[in-house]
Amino acid sequence: MPELPELNPVIHGKLRLALLALLAGVEEAEFTWLRARTGSTDGNLGAQLLKLEEAGYVAVEKKFVQRKPQTLYRMTEAGRQALTSYVQALKQLLGAAIGA
Amino acid sequence: MNANAEEQELKDRLSLIESMIAEGRRSTESWGWTFVLWGVAYYVAIAWSTWGRAAFAWPVTMIAASVLTGVLASRRAAKHPETTIGRAMMAIWVGMGISTFILMFSLGISGRIDLHIGVAIVGAMLGAANATSSIILKWKMQFACALVWWTAGAVSCFISENQAGIVFLAAIFFCQIVFGIYGMISESRRHRQDASHA
């Protein structure tokens, strides 16, 4: 029987997964936009984004636009690969669950 | 956790990924207003060049419309994330705009332009930009606009100057004003649907 893949624990968290998937569809996104799309609080969102940043899955850029601070998040290549692998593992697990 | 609950959780994760990716993509597609703005700008330039100082009408109106588009687009960009499609659209239209401006400006200064050539160039340029955008956005109505612009450009080479002017006015009306308003209505409908599904 083939060995079942393990799901990446960094991505498996629901909010972190939602954030990576959101960033997969855009070039870059602002903190406030991510907060609006996920319906999360500032503190929780900041903490989850930090975990993704520490894992090397997202890159952060801070800048000022019209004197207002702006924090932009962008998915890295490592993040894209991790999300792809996660989806593949998920499909494999689902296939095994259905076949069982 | 039993097998069914686990399977359901895995399915939930997959659908979460799909819905979030779609969410990121759909939130930025708002182009209708730019068509209306440029349609009005063309009409202002035509009216100004017909009844006012023809030499300044087109360059001043086009530069003003470009600045206005840039300001409005940057305000919208602050609320929406940048997407690859958005960047591709910007590249197509900015490239087309600069090419047309340089060509028309040079022809104007050299005195080698007339309405036939003007409509032919604008028709070809707008036809190409609309066709490219429509293929990327998979928007059939926009491809119809490309066909109208190409036809207007080609037809203007064979008709009188007055007729070419009428063809140009009609193409602006259908491909900028009518199409722009249609785009704005369909975009606002889609945003309302998205909001009700959220």
pLDDT digits (tens, 9 = 90+) for B4-16: 777 888 888 888 8
| Interval B136-184: pLDDT, tens | 888 899 999 999 999 999 999 999 999 999 999 999 999 999 999 999 9
> Do A24 and B21 count as a contact with CB atoms less than 8 A apart?
yes
Q: What secondary structure does DSSP assign to B74-138, as a single string?
A: HHHHHHS-B-HHHHHHHHHHHHHHHHHHHHHHHHHHHT---HHHHHHHHHHHHHHHHHHHHHHHT
With contacts defined as CB-CB under 8 Å, which chain B residues touch A6? none
Taking all residues of chain A, what is their mean pLDDT, rounded to a whole number?
Answer: 88
| Interval B32-66: pLDDT, tens | 899 999 999 999 999 998 887 777 888 899 999 99
> Do A29 and B81 count as a contact with CB atoms less than 8 A apart?
yes
Q: Hey, is the C-beta of B87 within 8 angstroms of any chain A C-beta?
A: yes
Write the residue in A14, A25, A90 that is nearest to B23 by C-beta: A25
Position with higher pLDDT, B85 vs B114: B114
pLDDT bracket for residue A98 (50, 70, 90): low
| Interval B158-171: pLDDT, tens | 999 999 999 999 99
Q: Residue A16, CB half-sphere, CA atoms under 13 Å: how many?
A: 22
Q: What letter represents residue B97's amino acid?
A: G
Q: Hey, is the C-beta of B191 within 8 angstroms of any chain A C-beta?
A: no
pLDDT bracket for residue A63 (50, 70, 90): confident
Give the distance from residue B109's alpha carbon to the nearest chain A alpha carbon, in angstroms.
38
pLDDT bracket for residue B97 (50, 70, 90): very high
Q: Hey, is the C-beta of B49 within 8 angstroms of any chain A C-beta?
A: no
Residue percentage of chain A with pLDDT more than 90: 54
Write the residue in B16, B83, B86 that is nearest to A21 by C-beta: B16
With contacts defined as CB-CB under 8 Å, which chain B residues touch A98? 7
CA gyration radius, chain B? 21
Please give the interface size between A and B, counted as residue pairs whose CB atoms are below 8 Å apart. Answer: 76
Q: Distance (Å, rounded) from C-alpha B155 to C-alpha B130? A: 18
Residue percentage of chain B with pLDDT more than 70: 91
Q: Rounded to whole angstroms, what are the CA distances from A15 to A28, A61, A73?
A: 17, 20, 15
| Interval A17-43: pLDDT, tens | 999 999 988 888 999 889 988 999 999
Give the residue from chain B lying closest to A39, CA to CA.
B198
pLDDT bracket for residue B189 (50, 70, 90): confident
